[in-house]
């Protein structure tokens, strides 16, 4: 599995595209980078995304619209069941619908009990895909696969002690010791959210509410300090 996030970032419209060609383009770019699946962060994509993925042999991880605390609010818990059932009933026949999680990084003192019941319900309802409790955590015996941040180069809170900051880059690190603890597939959770230097040649590509005033400011600051933006 080699995938990336699709975080529903479509600010010029406020909603994801609903035509197949737009999703062919998005998934085509992902495939060109060697990826074979998209994780839809805390949302379910429209029909056109499933159709494009079916056509292109691309795998999707769908999630309920939650980044929430479960096992506390009965109204929210009930809605989680209802909304997940709607997703399965509406899109469950698409072969690209391979993976499903209820939520991104679920919390709550009773989350394990609640999520275990949800997973058991899904498996009884439709066992054609792999299910996991949440993107990120928790690790439950009911999970068909794990989506966990443990097998990655840096962990939250490690700061300068993280491997990337404390050791030279290398290609001889693996996660065999971690993976060998489990008998289900493991997908690393959000392995990289990196900062990068700006490409000032792209300023003209930003428009509308995304007009890049910040990049213009950075460019002028570089010039004022004698640097030549590239």
- For 210-229, the pLDDT digits (tens) are 889 999 999 999 999 999 87
pLDDT (tens digit, 9 = 90+) per residue, 139-158?
A: 999 999 999 999 988 888 88
Is residue 194 over pLDDT 80?
Answer: no
CA distance 71 to 64: 16
User: Residues for the chain: how many in total?
Assistant: 230
Q: What is the pLDDT of residue 37?
A: 97
To the nearest whole percent, how much of the chain has pLDDT over 70? 100
- State whether residue 202 is helix, strand or coil: helix
- What integer best gives the mean pLDDT of the chain? 94
**Treating both helix axes as pointing N-terminal to C-terminal, what angle do 74-91 and 111-125 enclose, rounded to 10 degrees?**
30
Please list, in sequence order, all residues whose beta carbon lies within 8 angstroms of the beta carbon of residue 187, skipping any fewer than 6 positions away.
Answer: 1, 3, 145, 146, 147, 148
Q: What is the pLDDT of residues 27-82, one digit of tens each?
A: 999 999 999 999 999 999 999 999 999 999 999 999 999 999 999 999 999 999 99
pLDDT at 2: 94
> Is the per-residue pLDDT at 162 higher than 90?
no
Structural contact between residues 29 and 62, judged by C-beta atoms closer than 8 angstroms: no
Alpha-carbon gap, residue 182 to 220, rounded angstroms: 53
What is the set of domains in the chain, with CATH numbers? 3-194 (3.20.20.80), 197-230 (no CATH)
**DSSP, res 69:** B
């Amino acid at each position: 599995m080699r995938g990336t996030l699709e975080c529903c970032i479509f600010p010029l419209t406020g909603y994801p595209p609903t035509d197949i060609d737009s999703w062919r383009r998005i998934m085509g770019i992902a495939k060109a980078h060697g990826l074979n699946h998209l994780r839809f962060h805390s949302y379910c994509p429209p029909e056109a995304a499933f159709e494009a993925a079916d056509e292109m042999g691309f795998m999707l991880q769908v999630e309920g619209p939650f980044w929430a605390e479960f096992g506390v609010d009965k109204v929210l818990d009930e809605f989680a069941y209802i909304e997940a059932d709607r997703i399965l009933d509406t899109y469950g026949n698409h072969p690209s619908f391979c993976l499903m999680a209820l939520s991104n990084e679920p919390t709550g003192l009773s989350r394990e009990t609640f999520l275990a019941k949800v997973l058991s319900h899904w498996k009884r309802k439709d066992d054609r895909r792999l299910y996991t409790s949440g993107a990120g955590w928790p690790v439950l015996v009911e999970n068909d696969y794990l989506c966990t941040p443990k097998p990655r180069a840096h962990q939250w809170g490690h700061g300068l002690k993280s491997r990337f900051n404390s050791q030279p880059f290398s290609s001889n690190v693996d996660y065999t010791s971690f993976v060998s603890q489990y008998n289900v597939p493991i997908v690393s959770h959000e392995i990289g959210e990196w900062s990068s230097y700006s490409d000032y040649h792209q300023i003209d590509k930003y428009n509308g509410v995304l007009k890049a005033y910040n990049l213009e400011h950075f460019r002028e600051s570089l010039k004022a300090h004698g640097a030549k933006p590239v």
